[in-house]
Structure formats: C-alpha cells, structure tokens
C-alpha cells in the first residue's frame, strides 16, 4: 500500500476520537538527539478489547523513521482494520526510548 494512503487512513481513524472498544493505541519512541527526540525508530501498538482488559502490545522497530516506513504503516493499518477497532488513539510526539 502507498505510504501516504496508509498514513491518511490511520490519521482519519485517530481524528474520530473515542467511540468505545475495541481500542487501538499508537505510541512512538526514538533515540534522544541533543535535547529532543526527532526520529521515531519504534512504534508500540496496544490493543484493548474491552474496558479494564489488559492491553496486548506489539512493537515494530526500524533503523529509519517508522512514520515514513511504508511496510510498518501498512501493517499498522491492517492491524487496526482486522481488530475492527472502534477507537484509534495516538500519543502525541515521540517519547525517548525506555
């Protein structure tokens, strides 16, 4: 799938806001460069089936920016679609790697 198309479809899901469960959450991590984290090299996708349930997580890692990796973005979209997620949320920005 085209990178721009995948990114737009994910962004559209995020913009819908909270619509109940199942819920998918996207969180980006990267190496600290100076005082900031510029490039996200990891993304963690969390899936919650129902309120109070333990999240299931999957992590994808890239040597470059995961936001610009066509394969990872396409996989993320497929996970969202197959989970039939009613809510998709994205943590703003990029957090330092743990």
**What pLDDT sits at residue 82?**
94
Higher pLDDT, 68 or 97: 68
Instruction: With 0.85 as the threshold, say if the pTM is over it.
Output: yes
Backbone φ and ψ of 92, nearest 5°: -65, 145
Task: Name residues whose C-beta falls within 8 Å of residue 56's C-beta, 6 or more positions apart in sequence.
Answer: 46, 47, 48
Q: Which domains does the chain have, with CATH numbers?
A: 3-96 (3.30.420)
User: What is the helix (H) or strand (E) element at residue 84, kind and residue range?
Assistant: none
Q: How many CA atoms lie within 13 A of 95 on its CB side?
A: 10
Mean pLDDT, all residues of the chain: 92
Q: Residue 33: pLDDT above 80? A: no
Is the pLDDT score of 34 beyond 70? no
Is there a contact between 28 and 43 (Cβ–Cβ < 8 Å)? yes
pLDDT tens-place string over residues 71-97:
999 999 999 999 999 999 999 988 888
């Amino acid at each position: 799938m085209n990178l721009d198309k995948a990114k737009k479809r994910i962004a559209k899901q995020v913009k819908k806001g909270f619509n109940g469960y199942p819920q998918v959450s996207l969180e980006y991590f990267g190496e600290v460069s100076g005082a900031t984290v510029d490039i996200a090299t990891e993304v963690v996708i969390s899936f919650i089936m129902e309120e109070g349930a333990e999240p299931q997580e999957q992590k994808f890692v890239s040597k470059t920016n995961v936001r610009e990796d066509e394969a990872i973005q396409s996989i993320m979209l497929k996970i969202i679609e197959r989970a039939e997620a009613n809510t998709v949320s994205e943590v703003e920005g990029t957090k330092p790697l743990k």
